[in-house]
Amino acid sequence: MKMLFAQGPAVKLDLAKKLLLLNWPFLALITAIVLIGIAALYSVAGGSFDPWASRQVMRYCVGLALLFAIAFSDIRWWLKGAYPLFILALFLMALVPLIGVESGGARRWLGVGELSFQPSEMMKIALVLAIARYYQWLPPEKIWRPDALIPPLLMIGVPALLALTQPDLGTAALFAIIGGGMMFLAGVSWFYFAGAIVAVVVALPYAWEMLHDYQKQRVLTFIDPETDPLGAGYHILQSKIAIGSGGFSGKGFMHGTQAQLNFLPEKHTDFIFTMFSEEMGFVGAVILLALYLLALVFITFMALRCRSMFAKLIAGGMGLTLFAYVFINVAMVTGLVPVVGVPLPLVSYGGTSMLTMMIGFGFVLNAHVNRRVTFRQSELGGLW
């Protein structure tokens, strides 16, 4: 199979040129999505910027500063730092079961004073950089070889297993989608993916036995939420009621009964799309999803214009991250997949997820700004 992202000769850019090369329409697009999220959080709080909307504005401003810092940095720094960053993220994830902060029955955070963050969010960025670095180093004629699959599979599998121990099924699924998608974009044959699907089907009975009781309950509730309408099935039933009651044009801004009367749990985080759909209806939901789709189109075109495999896969990997977040969240709140606790990017309330996405988009813009940059073999070194 030919690589979807084939490599294309070196270019130095000053800050003025980088400003001109920045994809400003893309930046305006993601800002529009953030503004929709801020408006939704304002509505959730009953017409108040506190406690969520005001904090989300601050997080966006911090994220925007990080986005510009990364977008205008030298892409060669990230080529050299990809593996050390991955190892650091892996180390922090390994610390979570030992010294992590527990909340809601799960241990997913590391705390420093009053601050806490999820190392798994850092890993989503580090994983993209590490796999992109690997395929920049790997000669194209070796991509199809079975032994060439081992390093990227380890890069995906070890963080996924650490996420499952927290336990965080949603994050493990995101690692698999992002990493597997990047391998496909790099040129790995469909044959291997078909074999992986067969292996997953065979392993399902064993995987079921490894799930925690609450995770099994989520799957059973997903199949038939009516079996426990006041317990495990409550979230998804209320979510479906809210989305359905929004109708074509919605109940109006700040007039969603399921959200405003507190029937809808987690309405400012994982289930914010439900609240938005109730108030803005089918039309509003389609417009929001269209903005996400347009963002993915922008990212795809930026990736295709890059000369180096590293830049192409950075942009492609961040695009896969955005797609995976949106797909899993929307499928989750509409009852198409079990509830796994994945936020809606740029819209759901949450500091770590907001900063992760803004940093990710910073790398997309970095790849775009450095799209004509190529790397000498001496810059690549060995595998590690």
pLDDT in tens, 13-53: 677 777 888 999 999 999 999 999 999 999 998 889 988 99
Residues 6+ apart with CB under 8 A from 28: none
CB distance 297 to 323 below 8 Å = no
Tell whether the model's pLDDT for residue 5 goes beyond 60: no
Q: What is the residue type of 372?
A: R
The residue count of the chain comes to 384
CB distance 375 to 76 below 8 Å = yes
Q: What is the residue type of 137?
A: W
* Tokens 């108030």 sit on residue: 279
Burial class (CB in 10 A: 0-12, 13-18, 19+), 376: exposed
Alpha-carbon distance of 209 to 174, in angstroms, equals 21
Average pLDDT, the chain: 88
What average pLDDT does this structure show over 89-94?
Answer: 95
Alpha helices by DSSP H, listed for 211-350, are 213-223, 234-246, 257-260, 272-304, 309-333
Tell whether the model's pLDDT for residue 384 goes beyond 60: no
Q: Which residue has the higher pLDDT, 242 or 283?
A: 283
Q: What is the residue type of 204?
A: L
Whole-angstrom CA distances from 59 to 14, 288, 300, 341 are 29, 21, 26, 20
| CA proximity to 331, closest of 245, 260, 203, 239 | 239
* Tokens 């079996």 sit on residue: 227
Q: Which residue has the higher pLDDT, 158 or 170?
A: 158
Task: Indicate whether this model's pTM tops 0.85.
Answer: yes
pLDDT in tens, 112-125: 766 778 899 999 99
Tell whether the model's pLDDT for residue 231 goes beyond 80: no
What are the domain boundaries of the chain?
Answer: 21-375
* DSSP for 85-127, written as a single string: HHHHHHHHHHHHHHHPEEETTEEEEEEETTEEE-HHHHHHHHH
CB distance 136 to 79 below 8 Å = yes
- The fraction of the chain above a pLDDT of 90, given in percent, is 56
Residues 6+ apart with CB under 8 A from 76: 373, 375, 379
Quote the pLDDT of residue 7.
47
Alpha-carbon distance of 25 to 361, in angstroms, equals 13
As given in the structure block, the two tokens for residue 316 are 């492609």
Q: pLDDT band for 9, please (50, 70, 90 cuts).
A: very low
Quote the pLDDT of residue 381.
59
